[in-house]
């Protein structure tokens, strides 16, 4: 979501800014712009609606030359995607600002600033920052000091980069809720919302922390923390290949992608959380208005994305009180569907090009849905282009055919949707949103703890290598997690695996259980735990070998034929995200033991663009 690049150097920086924007374009954008302090002493700007290529073409005809500049690719939250709303935004002719995020009190600030005589030329929330900063500069001429006092009045999320023609020796930046990284060069320094944008010019980075303000000059970097104290941030030397399209230290892309989950979940949350609530506008400018009317949700997806939708159904009904149906796209598209009034159509797809999901969306447009939302990992995809609202997951490029990080980021997106719908419709229980926002902030750390169980799970995988069938059990929102676990095992190890809600066991599948059929179970510590334990007894009584991923507080321990792997305790709502990790690792290690082609399993393809 939106990309920022900035540079202060002794050479012309326009090409560096442009290359940075291109590297950020994988996130999907709707306009782009650049402003530089030109060699004739003025700020000059070029903006274009559409992709970075449009901007590049414009710059070819109208070159900008300067040694200080900022650039931006936009994914609109406030104001339509068009050139007038593209960043950088100016106040007067001497101040330029680029912004990632959402300013929640922009309306009040806009009124205040209009009253003071400032004239607005865009519909964005960002423009209030430019004028407010200009206003502060009247009282406090130092750009950094004025920015410090400006951010005190902003509510919401921001990553900001600012330049001024009056103080052209520096680039100033502020971070709260949206990431920013400083790239350190020799006699030149850079700024970006993602270090990928700067890999062309440096391999040394300094990551800003929440509340930081930075003053970046050619030969120095000065940072103040949230309390206004001068701080040093660690310089990180980038290890080549760790994020590029190679496997780095990992044996397979799939393992690398499993281990990327804390980082990509973190990225998916960035810009989207306020202090104690979800920023609804993260779903697009018309989201709040549309969400207020939603009385039902219809989710449509395929494969792993369908399982994410199944988890969301539990969340939407239990937390937001909104009836939800979930269906696989290849069925939905060919069925005569009866649409309840005021139903939001939600499609989920990693690539956004999944043929069945896309066809289902196109059919849905004829069926009288209230509106459509795409949860997708590729911003320039057809699904995103054709939906009214979008939530981009920030999983980055997923190369392993068996989806891992796309799934967990989809779950995060769906939980944000649940909380947003509940917030707008006033159906969440008091305090629930604030508590879950807090839990979401802690989620990347918890996922890291689950990943630390890697070697334990590798050992358990030995139990499966010579088996032909496996059963996965879960109850409640863990049932779809069990389905996803079974799908992973099937996809990459070619072992037949089926998932059942644990309560269904005695209605049929128990007939299959013997000592050749291991049973994998996910058991968080919730109100269904005791019932689940009884189901496990039913398996043990038939000689079935059990592998149980259990909450450390569930008091379950190893016994004859029962292998218990303790999981860190987590809030029950977020448990499906955490419990996905050990199941991914399990199928990965089983596949490695079986010697299959983990990243490119037979008969499958990554982006299913055919029916
Ligand atoms: N609110 C700003 C920036 C949007 C953004 O960060 N999107 O990811 C705008 O609408 O221009």
pLDDT in tens, 115-146: 999 999 999 999 999 999 999 999 999 999 99
For ligand 1, whether the C-beta of 418 sits within 6 Å is: no
- The pair of structure tokens assigned to 569 is 């305790």
Q: pLDDT (tens digit, 9 = 90+) per residue, 312-353?
A: 999 999 999 999 999 999 999 999 999 999 999 999 999 888
* 605 confidence band (pLDDT: 50, 70, 90): low
Domain closes at, from 237, 267, 298? 237
Sequence-ordered list of residues with C-beta below 8 angstroms from that of 20, at least 6 positions apart, any chain: 3, 5, 71, 190, 192, 197, 198, 200
Ligand 1 atom nearest the C-alpha of 1 is 8
Chain mean pLDDT for the chain = 92
Closest by CA to 392, choosing from 349, 353, 428, is 349
Same domain, 161 and 69: yes
Domain closes at, from 428, 460, 481? 428
Assigned domain for 191 exists:
yes
For ligand 1, whether the C-beta of 131 sits within 6 Å is: no
Same domain, 163 and 31: yes
**CATH number assigned to the domain comprising residue 388:** 3.40.50.10490
d(CA 265, CA 395): 7
- 271 C-alpha to ligand 1 centroid (Å): 9
Same domain, 230 and 259: no
Assigned domain for 460 exists:
yes
- 124 C-alpha to ligand 1 centroid (Å): 8
Same domain, 260 and 406: yes
For ligand 1, whether the C-beta of 1 sits within 6 Å is: yes
Same domain, 226 and 283: no
Domain count, the chain: 3
Assigned domain for 434 exists:
no
Note if 2 is an active site residue.
yes
Same domain, 254 and 229: no
Pairing of strands 519-523, 469-474: parallel
- 266 C-alpha to ligand 1 centroid (Å): 18
For ligand 1, whether the C-beta of 102 sits within 6 Å is: yes
Q: pLDDT (tens digit, 9 = 90+) per residue, 56-89?
A: 999 999 999 999 999 999 988 899 989 999 999 9
d(CA 208, CA 270): 13
Same domain, 229 and 259: no
For ligand 1, whether the C-beta of 122 sits within 6 Å is: no
Assigned domain for 446 exists:
no
Assigned domain for 606 exists:
no
Query: Could you list the residue range(s) of the whole structural domain that residue 40 is in?
Result: 3-237
Same domain, 37 and 155: yes
Domain closes at, from 181, 210, 237? 237
Same domain, 102 and 221: yes
Q: What is the 3-state secondary structure (H, E, C) of 266-331?
A: HHHHCCCECCCCECHHHHCCCHHHHHCCCCEEEEEECHHHHHHHHHHHHHHHHCCCCCEEEEEHHH
To which H or E segment does residue 440 belong?
Answer: helix 432-451
Assigned domain for 552 exists:
yes
For ligand 1, whether the C-beta of 27 sits within 6 Å is: no
For ligand 1, whether the C-beta of 390 sits within 6 Å is: no
Report the residue among 72, 97, 100, 268 best suited for mutation to probe ligand 1: largest number of ligand atoms under 8 A from its CB. 100
Same domain, 478 and 550: yes
Indicate the range of 185-194, 411-420, 529-538 predicted with least confidence: 529-538
Assigned domain for 610 exists:
no
Assigned domain for 608 exists:
no
Q: Is the pLDDT of residue 242 over 50?
A: no
- The pair of structure tokens assigned to 511 is 């007939």
Same domain, 468 and 556: yes
Note if 82 is an active site residue.
no
Ligand 1 atom nearest the C-alpha of 100 is 6
Ligand 1 atom nearest the C-alpha of 159 is 6
Please give the angle made by the CA atoms of 601, 607 and 611, to the nearest 5 degrees. Answer: 100
Same domain, 147 and 49: yes
Q: pLDDT (tens digit, 9 = 90+) per residue, 310-322?
A: 999 999 999 999 9
Indicate the range of 11-15, 325-329, 377-381, 412-416 predicted with least confidence: 377-381
- 225 C-alpha to ligand 1 centroid (Å): 24
Let me know: does 376 contact 350? Beta carbons within 8 Å: yes
How many residues comprise the chain? Answer: 611
């Amino acid at each position: 979501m939106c990309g920022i690049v900035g540079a202060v150097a002794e050479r012309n920086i326009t090409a560096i800014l442009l290359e940075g924007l291109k590297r950020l374009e994988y996130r999907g954008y709707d306009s782009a712009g650049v402003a530089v302090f030109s060699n004739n002493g003025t700020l000059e700007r070029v903006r274009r609606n559409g992709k970075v290529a449009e901007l590049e073409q414009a710059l070819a005809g109208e070159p900008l030359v300067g040694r200080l500049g900022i650039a931006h690719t936009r994914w609109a939250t406030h104001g339509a995607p068009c050139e007038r709303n593209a960043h950088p935004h100016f106040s007067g002719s001497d101040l330029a600002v680029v912004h990632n995020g959402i300013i929640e009190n922009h309306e009040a600030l806009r009124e205040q600033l209009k009253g003071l005589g400032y004239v607005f030329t865009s519909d964005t929330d960002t423009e209030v920052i430019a004028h407010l900063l200009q206003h502060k500069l009247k009282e406090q001429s130092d750009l950094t000091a004025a920015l410090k006092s400006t951010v005190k009045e902003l509510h919401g999320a921001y990553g900001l980069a600012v330049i001024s023609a009056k103080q052209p020796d520096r680039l100033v930046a502020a971070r709260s809720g949206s990431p920013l990284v400083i790239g350190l060069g020799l006699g030149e320094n850079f700024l970006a919302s993602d270090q990928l944008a700067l890999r062309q010019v440096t391999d040394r980075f300094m990551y800003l922390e929440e509340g930081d303000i930075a003053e970046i000059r050619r030969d120095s970097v000065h940072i103040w923390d949230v309390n206004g104290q001068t701080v040093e941030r660690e310089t990180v030397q980038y290890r080549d290949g760790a994020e590029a399209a190679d496997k780095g230290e990992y044996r397979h892309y799939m393992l690398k992608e499993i281990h990327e989950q804390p980082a990509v979940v973190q990225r998916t949350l960035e810009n989207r959380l306020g202090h104690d609530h979800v920023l609804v506008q993260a779903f697009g400018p018309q989201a709040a208005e549309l969400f207020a009317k939603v009385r039902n949700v219809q989710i449509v997806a395929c494969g792993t994305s369908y399982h994410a939708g199944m988890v969301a159904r539990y969340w939407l009904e239990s937390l937001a009180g909104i009836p939800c149906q979930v269906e696989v796209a290849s069925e939905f598209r060919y069925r005569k569907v009866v649409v309840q009034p005021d139903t939001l159509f939600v499609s989920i797809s990693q690539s956004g090009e999944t043929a069945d999901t896309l066809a289902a969306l196109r059919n849905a447009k004829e069926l009288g849905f209230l509106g459509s939302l795409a949860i997708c990992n590729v911003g320039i995809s057809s699904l995103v282009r054709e939906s009214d609202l979008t939530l981009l997951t920030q999983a980055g490029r997923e190369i392993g055919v068996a989806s891992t990080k796309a799934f967990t980021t989809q779950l995060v997106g769906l939980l944000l949707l649940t909380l947003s719908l509940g917030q707008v419709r006033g159906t969440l229980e008091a305090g629930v949103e604030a508590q879950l926002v807090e839990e979401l902030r802690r989620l990347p750390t918890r996922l890291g703890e689950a990943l630390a169980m890697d070697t334990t799970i590798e050992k358990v995988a030995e139990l499966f290598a010579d088996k032909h069938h496996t059963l996965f059990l879960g109850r409640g929102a863990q049932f779809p997690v069990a389905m996803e676990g079974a799908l992973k095992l099937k996809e990459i190890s070619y072992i037949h695996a089926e998932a059942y809600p644990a309560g269904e066991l005695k209605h049929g599948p128990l007939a299959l259980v013997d000592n050749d059929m291991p049973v994998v179970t996910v058991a968080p510590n919730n109100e269904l735990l005791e019932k689940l334990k009884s189901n496990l007894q039913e398996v043990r009584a038939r000689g079935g070998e059990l592998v149980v991923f259990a909450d450390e507080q569930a008091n379950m321990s190893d016994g004859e034929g029962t292998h218990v792997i303790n999981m860190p305790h987590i809030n029950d709502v977020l448990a499906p995200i955490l419990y996905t990790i050990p199941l991914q690792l399990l199928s990965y290690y089983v596949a490695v033991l079986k010697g299959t082609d983990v990243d490119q399993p037979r008969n499958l393809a990554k982006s299913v663009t055919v029916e």
